[in-house]
Amino acid sequence: MMRKASSNGIEICYDTFGDRKGRPLILIMGLATQMVAWPEPFCRMLAAAGHFVVRFDNRDVGQSTRMERLYVPDVEALMAETAAGRQVWVPYTLLDMADDAVGLMDALKIDQAHVSGLSMGGMIAQVMALEYPGRLLSLTSIMSTTGEPDLPPSTPEAREALLSIPPAKRAGYVSHMAAIYRTFAGGSEFYDEKLQRELSGKAFDRGIYAPGFLRQFAAILGAGGRRHRLDQIRIPTLVIHGDCDPVVPLAHGQDTAAIIPGARIEVIPGLGHGTAFPGLWERMAAAIADHTAAASA
């Protein structure tokens, strides 16, 4: 059952899986993507492995607070500014979003947790590890990056898909998103388009909010690189990355694992970008569970 909690001055929509006495595991989703993109069967796998799983909608997405009082940035202009090496001003930052996650932990009376973030969620999780090291038992950075400009960019096809505008009606939206994630799959035979259509339909029914995409994308652009800080992390860290990710190429995950002391990388063949890869869930869930169990011990 989905509920809401007050956090950092806003409302965060969340739900949970598993026994409250299990290892607390906070799941943070990526850019403009709702918590339902953590598929329920995958969350149940994690719960069965001994976790108390919490998934939630980031601000500006799904049923969490829409930041309507904040301006809508010109992302193309921001991209040009960051490409030129100039600092940009954004409506809110990855740190604000990390504060949201910590505030949700406070609301749920979770003092410390294992934190797993996917794509932008991995960036937020990294910021949590830097700013709130006492609150994290472990970090898992999935399909994510240090944010450094010298790393390989998304493929042109993935970039075009990322910036495409979806149709306003449900059927068109679902088909559009299925095509986007087919591109994001990087040719993987494990991509399940039927599942992605189901996930995208659930997201549409909960509410799509286009300005949230722009503000979250701006937060990523405004963050810059974290390589110079990530070497300060002393929390047990696992990096999970696919070998055919065209959005955040494998080199980004390798860079993350190389810079965080003691980090281990799990490269999963056939994993693209997203969660509609059910044939790979067992390996991903097992890697996370082994990591959190070892960190707890």
Identify the CA nearest to 14 among candidates 63, 48, 51: 63
Q: Is the pLDDT of residue 138 over 80?
A: yes
What is the number of residues in the chain?
297
Q: What are phi and psi of 189, to 5 degrees?
A: -75, -10
CA distance 185 to 34: 19
For residues 260 and 254, what is the distance between their CA atoms, to the nearest angstrom? Answer: 10
Joined tokens for residue 71: 């301006």
Residue 1 has pLDDT above 80, yes or no: no
What the block records as the tokens of 278 is 């059910």
Measure CA 147 to chain center: 14
pLDDT score at 255: 98
- Check whether 287 has a pLDDT greater than 80: yes
Contacts of 258 (CB under 8 A, 6+ apart): none
- What pTM was computed for the model? 0.98
Q: What's the CATH code, domain 3-153+208-296?
A: 3.40.50.1820
255-283: average pLDDT? 98
What is the per-residue pLDDT across 199-249, written as a single tens digit (0 to 9) for each? 999 999 999 999 999 999 999 999 999 999 999 999 999 999 999 999 999
Q: How far does CA 254 lie from the centroid of its chain?
A: 17
| Average of per-residue pLDDT values in the chain | 97
**93-134 pLDDT, tens digit each:** 999 999 999 999 999 999 999 999 999 999 999 999 999 999
Q: What is the mean pLDDT of residues 15-31?
A: 98
Report the alpha-carbon distance of residue 263 to residue 291 in Å, rounded: 11
| Mean pLDDT, residues 183-191 | 98
Chain segment 57-75, per-residue pLDDT in tens: 999 999 999 999 999 999 9
